[in-house]
Structure 1
Amino acid sequence: MNLINKEVTHKRFGKGSVVEYNDSSIEIHFATENKKFVFPDAFGKHLKLHDKSAANSLEKVIQKKELEQEKVKQEKEEEKNRQRKEQQLRLEHEKLMKNHKLHPESQMVFWCDDEELSRVFTEWKVFTGVIKSGNNKGKPNKPTRIYQNSVCLLTARDSSIPEKDRRILGVYMVNEDFIGKFCEDGYIPAHSEYRLQLTEQESDRMPLWKYYVNEKSPHKMSWNTGKYRYFDNVWMAQILLDIVSLKSDTQEKELAQNFFEHFCRLNRIREEELPEPNGALMRL
């Protein structure tokens, strides 16, 4: 479409002809002066083309631009609504966390079987299991103590070895938006950043019972039933600190250190006040 020298009429300035135009502006020569207008918007309000063929082509351009503008407007509105909803959810979450009293035992240690281990380090989530009896029998367990300050500790032992030799295989902070009492499916997803898998050699140096103890039977190492236990926030800090010292790879060591510091901030633990591990293995 070529509009150069095409005749136009302006409601105020009268007749004129197109001198120059581009994607955003058009210059018209009138009897006494040249005037610039927004292109093609001015043709929908102030200018009229005399050439019918050019006018039809221009109308299509205007319609296309209006559709594009409407689409941009709609996308902006959708984005605004999305941000508004996110802000509302964030405020609700912050309110819940502000009112949440930090439980001294808000960490979870899991007994992972072979089938679960085959996917837990790829899907980065763990299942709490189902309720065994009562009115809610068959429904997933709700990890009610779990908030964004919580960690899931993944452990395992071969059936041929004693319970005291249970090893820590990996660890992750729960997803930052996770609130256990609202969990309906029993799955606890991992934080996008704070997650660590130990090598076989590292796991051999991380026995669970070095840290964990049943205070009612401090010299006894037995799991009995169930696939998870809540345990002390301080014990988890001890575990994370030891993982930092185990890591030799620079990148993994940095991640482990950041993980440890993040955990301590959320759980209000001071590294310099952290006691030495005193689990059941240390009391033999």
Structure 2
Amino acid sequence: MNLIDETVTHKVFGEGQIVEQDDKTITVDFEEDVKKFVYPDAFKTFIMLQDRDLSERLEETLTKMRAEEKIREKKKAKEREQKIIQQQLRARLKNENVHKSSQIVFWLNEEDDEKVFEDWSVFTGTVQSGKKKGEPNRAARLRPNSMAVLTKRDAKEQEADRKIVGMFMVSETFIGSANEDGFIPSHELFKIELTEEESEKMHFWNYYMNPRSPKRMAWNSGRYRYFDNIWGAQILRDVLKMRQGEEEQERLDAFLDYYCHLNVLNRETIPVANGSLLQQ
């Protein structure tokens, strides 16, 4: 808003005329002195425009700016809070010797689908090259704190359409680096298969994101990949919100509590999901 040549009244210096203006300051020529003020902050406390219509329009602008400033401050406060939480989490993970990305997600094909949920175990696949070619992959990061998330998409679907169809905590005695047959067994209690209707609401890329390419959704090869512990908590929390019924609520509550306990997470401070699909 151009205020050059407009007349203002100052609480101390009296009447003056605006002679210069830029994005951050205005200069006012009073009868006895020339003063420079921070713009637009000065209009909030010290200076008032004499032109009533212009003053009202400026007030509308200032009101909008104040609202935007509050939003920015709230966002910065949230970012500071999340930064502190992340720092505390990294410290706790280090103390507890827990890898920050010790969860695993599988790409199920049609042959896997039914068998995985019958046996409640999933095969890691085989090494494709090198001296160990043909041997089962060892998912070395997996420990009892790990969760296997099961996903699939139809051949005609885009990668962005990948859905979560189930999940389970690994067995309480499972150590990935010591596993020889490539099969990951589930925990006796903490496992869940989603219905087709539920899966339609659980897009995998709502949670997963490559920090180097936040908007890119690509899974070109490999049967599995690791992902962040916090994303696993977000998935469980959203399944908990979706499922109704007292018995289901109690079971999923226990599932989430167990997961958060083993991964040194506070379920009350789990951030909102912000995966690649939500970055579009």
TM range (shorter): 0.5 to 0.7
Q: Identity of counterpart residues, as a percentage?
A: 45
State the shift of 1:237 in Å: 0.3
Distance change (3 Å), C-alpha of 1:269 and 1:99: closer
**1:165-196 deviations in Å (ceiling 9; x for gaps):** 10000000000000111100000000000000
CA–CA separation in structure 2 for the residues paired with 1:281 and 1:203: 16
CA–CA separation in structure 1 for the residues paired with 2:111 and 2:181: 19
Distance change (3 Å), C-alpha of 1:99 and 1:268: closer
Structure 2 counterpart of 1:239, from 220, 235, 238: 235
CA–CA separation in structure 2 for the residues paired with 1:267 and 1:168: 21
Amino acid at match of 1:271: R
Aligned partner of 1:175 in structure 2 is: 171
CA–CA separation in structure 2 for the residues paired with 1:233 and 1:258: 17
**1:45-88 deviations in Å (ceiling 9; x for gaps):** xxxxxxxxxxxxxxxxxxxxxxxxxxxxxxxxxxxxxxxxxxxx
TM-score by length of 1: 0.64
Moved more, 149-158 or 270-279: 270-279
Please tell me whether residue 255 in structure 1 is matched to residue 251 in structure 2: yes
CA–CA separation in structure 1 for the residues paired with 2:211 and 2:131: 31
Unaligned residue ranges in structure 2 (runs of 5+) = 1-93
**1:235-263 deviations in Å (ceiling 9; x for gaps):** 00000000101111332222111100100
**1:196-227 deviations in Å (ceiling 9; x for gaps):** 01111111100000000111211110101001
Structure 1 counterpart of 2:139, from 143, 161, 177: 143
Aligned partner of 1:45 in structure 2 is: none
SS at match of 2:188: strand
Aligned partner of 2:123 in structure 1 is: 127
State the shift of 1:99 in Å: 9.4
Distance change (3 Å), C-alpha of 1:128 and 1:162: same
Give the 5 Å matches for 1:262-277.
Answer: 262-277=258-273
Please tell me whether residue 111 in structure 1 is matched to residue 97 in structure 2: no
Give the 5 Å matches for 1:202-213.
Answer: 202-213=198-209
Aligned partner of 1:215 in structure 2 is: 211
Aligned partner of 1:184 in structure 2 is: 180
Please tell me whether residue 156 in structure 1 is matched to residue 175 in structure 2: no
Aligned partner of 1:95 in structure 2 is: none
Amino acid at match of 1:265: H
SS at match of 2:140: coil
TM-score by length of 2: 0.65
**1:106-163 deviations in Å (ceiling 9; x for gaps):** 0000000010002100100000000000000000000100000000000000010110
Distance change (3 Å), C-alpha of 1:99 and 1:215: closer
Amino acid at match of 1:196: I
CA–CA separation in structure 1 for the residues paired with 2:105 and 2:252: 18
RMSD of equivalent CA atoms:
1.4
State the shift of 1:105 in Å: 0.2
Aligned partner of 1:101 in structure 2 is: 97
SS at match of 2:100: coil
Unaligned residue ranges in structure 1 (runs of 5+) = 1-97
Runs of at least 4 residues off by over 3 Å: none
CA–CA separation in structure 2 for the residues paired with 1:264 and 1:152: 15
Please tell me whether residue 229 in structure 1 is matched to residue 220 in structure 2: no
Structure 2 counterpart of 1:199, from 192, 195, 203: 195
State the shift of 1:100 in Å: 7.0
Amino acid at match of 1:149: N
Distance change (3 Å), C-alpha of 1:104 and 1:236: same
Give the length in aligned residue pairs.
187
